[in-house]
A and B are shown apart, each in its own frame.
Chain A
Amino acid sequence: MKHIVIGVLGAAAFGMMATAASADTLGDVKARGFIKCGVNTGLAGFSAPNAQGEWTGLDVDFCRAVAAAVFGDGTKVKFTGLSAKDRFTALQSGEVDILSRNTTWTINRDTAQGLNFAGVTYYDGQGFMINKKSLPDVNSALQLSGASICVQAGTTTELNMADYFRANKMEYNPVVFEKFEEANAAYDAGRCDAYTTDQSGLYAVRLQMKSPDDHVVLPEIISKEPLGPSVRQGDDKWFDIVKWTYYALLNTEEAGITKANVDEMLKSDNPEIKRLLGVEAETKIGTDLGVGNDWVVNIVRATGNYGEIFERNVGAETPLKISRGVNALWTKGGLQYGMPIR
């Protein structure tokens, strides 16, 4: 009897999954008047409330950009903090329209979990940090043979590290901690030679060290962690809007259009800029997408281009001091490549 009940409930749950989230997200969003965006509950530089209680961060700004594209107003978005456990359920059940929560794009999530990734807003990867006072000669992860390494338990981080050391035929000694804070404290106290987690996390951890300047992040990246926004499968229109908002952010940076100069750029004679900003005569780029033709202008006015978002939240002027690196535009040796808007 019990099994039958569970079976029925389970079947109902999966049956509902398909219908719980309506297939016309854009229509729902417009009727509702705001976008529901799922973000991390607190990750330095990516999403966290500031002193006034407003959400800030790279992932947060991306949702504001989508709101600007749809409504012409970057404030028409409501944020829901989600934990790593509940993020996919929240998206599938329609509790959020976009999941912009430092989520790694993997095939499993793209297929089995029913997500569609719109792009990679931050190329992250697992790295190592060492104390250069205690290990002055080390400047590459390949020199870490025999090192003890602090790591958080139960994460893919632990497995990636095992793979990396085995592949390079090096010995290592993992010092595993249940909690992030414990691993930090142990590394800071000198219990391990190195600390490993995603590189963006390493920069945040470094701020909490007793002497941050003694610690360096080694250049090697041992895993691919492309982080990006995702939407539900089965709604291509909404998927397109989110995807092209991301490309619009990249293309405006490439064209040199910023929050400050967007009004001047509207008068530009450059055909590419005119096309991008929707000031060409009889343009249909925006309306074909399902938004206004001035959508790119609205995005830049609300959040600035991708480079501005990056610098404002995690860049050299912020406490995190993350350099653009692989997140630079393709024209500057990075991986960020905006598909042409034409």
Chain B
Amino acid sequence: MQEHDMSWVRTEMVLAQAAPRSQVGVAAWLQKNLFASAVDTAMTLVALLAIAWALPHILNWLFFDAVWTGTDRTACLTTEQGGQLPAGWSGACWPFVGSRFGQFMFGRYPYDERWRVMLAGALFLVLLVPLLIPRVPYKRLNAILFFGVFPFVCFWLLVGGFLGLRYVETPLWGGLMVTLVLSYVGIVVSLPLGILLALGRRSHMPIVKLLSVIFIEAVRGVPLVTVLFMASFMLPLFVPPGMTFDKLLRALIGVALFASAYMAEVVRGGLQAIPKGQYEGADSLGLGYWQKMGFIVMPQALTLVIPGIVNTFIGMFKDTTLVLIISMFDLLGVVKQNISGDPTWATPQTAKTGYVFAAAIFWIFCFGMSRYSQFMERRLATSHKR
């Protein structure tokens, strides 16, 4: 055996060393993310200045200068307006929100019956939270309860009129409750209906295809405001006298159908992204149409379009504010009504306070939906992960 001189080969491992100071720690992070170049530095400084300029004003208005207690408008008036606060004061008038909080949540739902709304809300949360957390078992039972049983229980609790509960007519409903009812029904109806419409539009059966296309294009072609207005004020002129449909029901149908048409196009986008091979693979396994769609195509297509679906949901959640035009008072409607119609709280700050409150509530819901959809995307992105 020939001897080799191995002296140039290292025989022991070099121990791992700490990363250079310039690559770790706060300083490195700042360098890399905020001050990497001259342009970055300038932008960082401008942004910091903007925050430093705006943030104190915002915090002062929202919290430090805000009024927290009071019984009427005099609590939020300056001395020159006939109140106690120093001249030039500006701040949120929170007691206005406090005194009208019940209305903002429930509208004019009878005070003694509001426990029913709260119970329905609690049930909603109890069923929704385990459904959203992937680890929790019994998903099938949970889904059946949430989508199949809960609507009926909810109807009984909110509307009443049988099984021992007093009837509460829907014109008394209002506030966040109406916003959530409209959104829940819209979401629960629009996703399955949207999927069916998307499949219908890609179907090879001419009549199904034609009907789907007509529905989607007709509904997408008119503004939601028009749909609501027609349903609410023109419909009664067409039907025979004495025949009335509940206004909330009309709005629910309008919103749900409207969202379905948009949903159909989102789902169709997902279907088009699935390669032909997936369909052919399913066919070669001998799967029927519904099995093919249910087991192979839809799971992939829906995963792809989660951002689009959630986008539609968030859009619909905010679109529910349009029911104001048919004199139904969702959260924003009730806030507006109390601002414009209430001399006991009319101050220069009332409108701002009310709108900030409504904006905060809407933001919480929309942001929640958005974060959850991102979580689901990461979880389900098993094949397209980048």
Residues of A within 8 A of B (CB): 9, 12-13, 16-17, 19-22, 40-45, 47-54, 57, 78, 80-83, 85-86, 89-90, 92-95, 180-181, 188, 204, 207-214, 318-320
Contacts and interface: CB of A to CB of B under 8 A. Distances in A.
B340 A42 contact: yes
A13 B238 contact: yes
A139 B180 CA distance: 52
A257 B237 CA distance: 43
Contact of B351 (A12, A90, A181): A181
Interface in B65-93: 73, 78, 80-82
A41 B341 contact: yes
Contact of A48 (B232, B327, B341, B350): B341
Contacts of A45: 343
B100 interface: yes
Interface in B233-248: 233-234, 236-242, 244
B237 A318 contact: no
A16 B240 CA distance: 7
A44 B348 contact: no
Contact of B338 (A49, A82, A85, A208): A49
B237 A22 contact: no
A322 B103 CA distance: 28
Nearest to A205: B346
B235 to A, nearest CB: 9
Given A13-B237, A44-B343, A209-B348, 12 more contacts: A16-B237, A41-B329, A50-B342, A53-B102, A53-B111, A81-B329, A93-B236, A95-B244, A180-B340, A181-B351, A207-B73, A207-B343
Contacts of A89: 233-234, 237
Given A78-B171, A207-B343, A49 B348 contact: no
B229 interface: yes
A21 B244 CA distance: 12
B107 interface: yes
Contacts of B327: 41, 80-83, 86
Contacts, number: 134
B329 to A, nearest CB: 7
Chain B interface extent, by class: 35 or more
Contacts of B350: 208
Interface in B301-337: 324-327, 329, 333, 336-337
Interface of B: 73, 78, 80-82, 99-100, 102-103, 107-109, 111, 171, 229, 232-234, 236-242, 244, 324-327, 329, 333, 336-344, 346-348, 350-351
* 8 closest Cβ pairs, A-B complex: A48-B341, A42-B341, A207-B346, A93-B236, A42-B337, A53-B108, A319-B343, A211-B80
Contacts of B333: 41
A74 B244 CA distance: 25
A94 B343 contact: no
A126 to B, nearest CB: 19
Contact of B341 (A13, A21, A40, A318): A40
Contacts of B233: 86, 89-90, 93, 95
Contacts of A9: 238
B380 to A, nearest CB: 44
Nearest to B344: A319
Nearest to B342: A48
A41 B108 CA distance: 13
B343 A320 contact: yes
Given A43-B340, A213-B80, A318-B343, A13 B108 contact: no
A210 B346 contact: no
A78 B247 CA distance: 15
B80 A208 contact: no
Given A22-B241, A212-B82, A319-B343, A188 B236 contact: no
A17 B347 CA distance: 43
B249 to A, nearest CB: 14
Contacts of B244: 95
A208 B241 contact: no
Contacts of B232: 86
